[in-house]
Amino acid sequence: MASQDNVSRSKAPNANDSHIALTKGALVTGITGHDGSYLTKFLLRKGYQVHGLIRRSSNYNTQRINHIYVDPHNANKARMKLHYADLSDASSLRRWLDVIKPDEVYNLAAQSHVDVSFEIPDYTADVVATGGLRLLEAVRSHMADNGRNIKYYQACSSEMFGSTPPPQSETTPFHPRSPYDASKCAAHWYTVNYREEYGLYACNRILFNHESPRRGVTRLGFAGDYMEAMWLMLQQEKPYDYVVATEGSHTVEEFLEVSFGYLGLSWKNHVEFDKR
Active site residues: 157, 159, 180
- The DSSP-derived string for 149-176 is --EEEEEEEGGGGTTPPSP--TTSPP--
DSSP string, the chain: ---HHHHHTTSS--TT-----SS-EEEEESTTSHHHHHHHHHHHHTT-EEEEEE---SS---TTTGGG---TT-TTT--EEEEE--TT-HHHHHHHHHHH--SEEEE------HHHHHHSHHHHIIIIIIHHHHHHHHHHHHHHHHT---EEEEEEEGGGGTTPPSP--TTSPP---SHHHHHHHHHHHHHHHHHHHH--EEEEEEE---B-TTS-TT--SBHHHHHHHHHHHTTSSS---EEE--SS---HHHHHHHHHHHTT--GGGT------
Find out whether 2 and 68 touch, Cβ atoms under 8 Å: no
